[in-house]
Structure 1
Amino acid sequence: MIKREIYMSRIRPFIGNELIKVLTGIRRSGKSVMLSLIQEELAQNGVQPEQFISLNFENMSNAHLCTAVALHDEILRRTKEISGKVYLFFDEIQEVADWEKCINSFRVELDCDIYITGSNAKLLSGELATYLAGRYVEFVIYPFSFREFMELYHTVYEGADERQCFTKYLTLGGMPYLSNLRYDDAASRQYLRDLFNSVELKDIIKRNNIRDVDMLERIIAYITSNIGTTFSSTAISKYLKSEGRSVSPETVLNYIKACTDAFLFYQVKRQDLQGKKILTVNEKYYVADHGVREAVYGGNMKDINLVLENVVYMELLRRGYSVTVGKVSDKEIDFVCEDHGKKLYVQVSYLLASEETIQREFGAFAGVRDNFPKYVVTMDELDMSRDGIKHRNIRDFLLAEEWN
């Protein structure tokens, strides 16, 4: 089991205190494993196993507990037999009707430490904001980084070098369960297609009562094939009209929101770096896991430039950066990244194969006058750094401990 220290280091300061720890992220990204890692650490620090109560609400044996009252009564019954602090772990809590009411009640009634997971961003909206405002801390769990993927891949194929690992990572992505399939291509693709169908059905269609499934699938297909490309809801609406399906830009936006709530896609806004304002049109979208994209739609190698962008974007999120697309006059910088006053600019390309490409990628930073680090990230093996702008091979960039 990968220790996933990048998340544990963030969760650790909150272990044992009264804040509710909420782990969100796309289905099967490893949230349940994170609960196990937390339990493991607690046990190492002297907490006894009988102080843990763990429930997974996608397990049919817990179906009778999927209401607030039933869950409340069950936990109170069990905790009567436990001395000392009780540690509550609730997996896929959104399956419990009115769950936020009983979670808030536990917080008040019991000496407890609560951890919950969910696969939809709506988990932290609406009534939850009322019941738990200021009383929870959220951690988004992403699919494996390249470093995590390589660590697990080496347990299956010990002799694989860095390049072989990255080639496999580009095709299969970072979903943790793939190691159990020994990264077999056919089995992995089948698993990823089933995962996509599960996200689409359970976390998008059912949770949002979507009736026009065909329209949803067309919109998902459009976004998936255009990751890393700026477009608007109006552009999708016009495209669908040309396909014989009439839909308003507002409806398109609602469908996209349902997909981002399920953590299938991430929206990246554009920022005018000169006017220092967020632009309200033509966002970019990236997919949570590029392996899912390959399994469902194919084309990762054909769209390699966009897929590399996707890989870098997800790594920036993992490391805690807030990310926008930068606009300077007529030029665009792929990623402007900020984290507590730190800033980073990143331009991603496949290969610097011509002088024209080199000028375009390095020239994107021409209008940026500050001294924060600027990177051009590609598949090239030779270092072509120039004018204070650092050029990195993408593997080296992803595996770097820090960027400065």
Structure 2
Amino acid sequence: MEEKKPLVDRPRYLDRIMPFIGTDDIIKVLVGLRRSGKSDMLKLIQQRLISKGCLPQQFISLNFEDYALAKYHDPDKLYPYLMERINAVDGTPYVFLDEVQEVRGFEKVVNSLRATTKADVIITGSNSTLLSGELATYLGGRYVQFEIFPFGYAEFADARQRINGNSSFDAFLREGGMPFIATSNWDNESRRTYLMDIYRSVVLRDVVRRHSIRDVALLERIVLFAMQNTGNILSASAIASYLKAEHLNVSAQTVINYLDYCREAFLLVRMNRTDLVGKQVLKTLQKYYVADHGLRGAIVGDGMTQIQGMLENIVAMEGLRRGYDVSVGAVNSKEVDFVFDKGSQRRYVQVTYLIDSEKTAEREFGVFKDIPDNYPKTVVSMDPILQPRDGIEHRRIDEFLLAEDW
């Protein structure tokens, strides 16, 4: 019998989602990379509801990646089935539709449930355009969307401790935060096989098939280039020029389109640059990060040789996981790795592997001197000895990722 994987609590998400549970006129939409934990989030929501007095009989759960439910990919069969189940529930029915984009015309089904029943509907999907078409038109703003990311270090450590596994930051750095890996004691080859399978699934199902891409090799070369240059400023024209030098004829617009498709599938994350003096968003020369640094490692295969970019990737994703708007700061001719914004809150963060010289210290701390405000400023690194200066804090990256004060 297959060992049951532990269900890791994700309170940061639940605290944002649960206030909307019980409002039957608002559809709850969870989106994110395939295998990032959306299905487990539905189970966690159910656990919270049970703790508040709900009964399991009130839950109607369908995962449309289950072949046994293939017939319900037809909305004309799905809708009457759901109505029959809903009408049989005593109390509030809670309808959980997982990977709902597999159902053609799901928009009409979801909207009809919202408009004609007292069911509380929660759906998940693996594409950011889930609400960009008919569903958004039907719902007219009557929905809330939450993006679910793979595990951060705190969740990874929690998962590993549950299976008596290696919960160190070094393990997280090597393996990444895909939930199934975090709850498994696999060897390196097994992890890489699993991660490559996720990558192929995202590329083929969520990008190639959705956008009818013919030149799959070109798409994968562009994705590889973006992943190899995690943390570097990129432009579509520079990528196109690089590929042309490798005898791959591609336009800058095609590069933009392919990168956008990967963003829609939550494989890549684009960080815009913000002028911290002129207060403007700079629309050129962005950075790209990967939804999970372990996924990047499996595809690029460069081990720890690009640790600076990996550390940046980890911090960027942690900011997003915590609900911040994350951008790259530009101040005069210098760059702040990250600007974290949430309402009236702001924090500046520099990320570096080690501060091993005065030149490095001046580069990492000195950039903050030109920022004309008093928001918190932090340098994070893997240094065993911390060296704060000029009112700027210096924190170990593992401690920073576990901290509750930001």
Q: What amino acid maps onto 2:154 in structure 1? A: R
Listed one character per residue, the Cα deviations across residues 38-75 of structure 1 (whole Å, up to 9, x for unaligned) are: 11121222222222111011111111111222211111
Q: What amino acid maps onto 1:174 in structure 2? A: G
Q: Which region of structure 1 is more displaced relative to structure 2, 176-185 or 279-288?
A: 176-185
CA contact (8 A) 2:224 2:299 kept: no
Q: In the alignment, which residue of structure 2 is the partner of 1:4?
A: 10
Q: What secondary structure, in the 3-state scheme, does the structure 1 residue paired with 2:369 have?
A: coil
Which one of 124, 148, 156 corresponds to residue 149 of structure 1?
156
Aligned partners of 1:67, 1:122: CA distance in 2, in Å?
20
CA contact (8 A) 2:163 2:184 kept: no
Matched, 1:306 2:306: no
Matched, 1:383 2:386: yes
Residue 180 of structure 1 deviates from its aligned partner by 4.5
Matched, 1:137 2:137: no
Aligned partners of 2:373, 2:128: CA distance in 1, in Å?
35
Q: What amino acid maps onto 1:5 in structure 2? A: P
CA contact (8 A) 2:325 2:340 kept: yes
CA contact (8 A) 1:170 1:300 kept: no
Q: What amino acid maps onto 2:140 in structure 1? A: A
Residue 84 of structure 1 deviates from its aligned partner by 2.5
Residue 121 of structure 1 deviates from its aligned partner by 0.3
CA contact (8 A) 1:300 1:307 kept: no
Aligned partners of 1:157, 1:184: CA distance in 2, in Å?
15
Which one of 110, 133, 146 corresponds to residue 103 of structure 1?
110
What is the total number of aligned residue pairs between the two structures?
399
CA contact (8 A) 1:84 1:111 kept: no
Gaps of 5+ in 1: none
Q: TM-score under structure 2 normalisation?
A: 0.96
Gaps of 5+ in 2: 1-6
CA contact (8 A) 2:159 2:183 kept: no
Q: Which region of structure 1 is more displaced relative to structure 2, 250-259 or 164-173?
A: 164-173
Q: What secondary structure, in the 3-state scheme, does the structure 1 residue paired with 2:373 have?
A: coil
Q: What amino acid maps onto 2:281 in structure 1? A: I
Q: Percent identity?
A: 49
Q: What secondary structure, in the 3-state scheme, does the structure 1 residue paired with 2:193 have?
A: helix
Which one of 348, 365, 368 corresponds to residue 362 of structure 1?
365
Q: Which region of structure 1 is more displaced relative to structure 2, 24-33 or 363-372?
A: 363-372
Q: What secondary structure, in the 3-state scheme, does the structure 2 residue paired with 1:366 have?
A: helix
Q: CA RMSD in A?
A: 1.2
Listed one character per residue, the Cα deviations across residues 141-190 of structure 1 (whole Å, up to 9, x for unaligned) are: 111110110111122336x5xxx611111111001101453142221111
Moved over 3 A (4+): none
Which one of 246, 250, 255 corresponds to residue 247 of structure 1?
250
Q: TM-score under structure 1 normalisation?
A: 0.97
Listed one character per residue, the Cα deviations across residues 5-50 of structure 1 (whole Å, up to 9, x for unaligned) are: 1111111111111211100110001100010111112122222222
Q: What amino acid maps onto 1:60 in structure 2? A: Y
Q: In the alignment, which residue of structure 1 is the partner of 2:266?
A: 263
Q: What amino acid maps onto 2:12 in structure 1? A: I
Which one of 352, 357, 360 corresponds to residue 355 of structure 2?
352
Aligned partners of 1:153, 1:83: CA distance in 2, in Å?
39
Matched, 1:14 2:17: no
Listed one character per residue, the Cα deviations across residues 289-339 of structure 1 (whole Å, up to 9, x for unaligned) are: 000111121124100011000000000001111011111111100001110
Question: What does residue range 90-239 of structure 1 map to in structure 2 within 5 Å?
Answer: 90-157=97-164, 160=166, 165-239=168-242
Aligned partners of 1:357, 1:205: CA distance in 2, in Å?
43
Aligned partners of 1:321, 1:82: CA distance in 2, in Å?
39
CA contact (8 A) 2:163 2:183 kept: no
Q: What secondary structure, in the 3-state scheme, does the structure 1 residue paired with 2:237 have?
A: helix
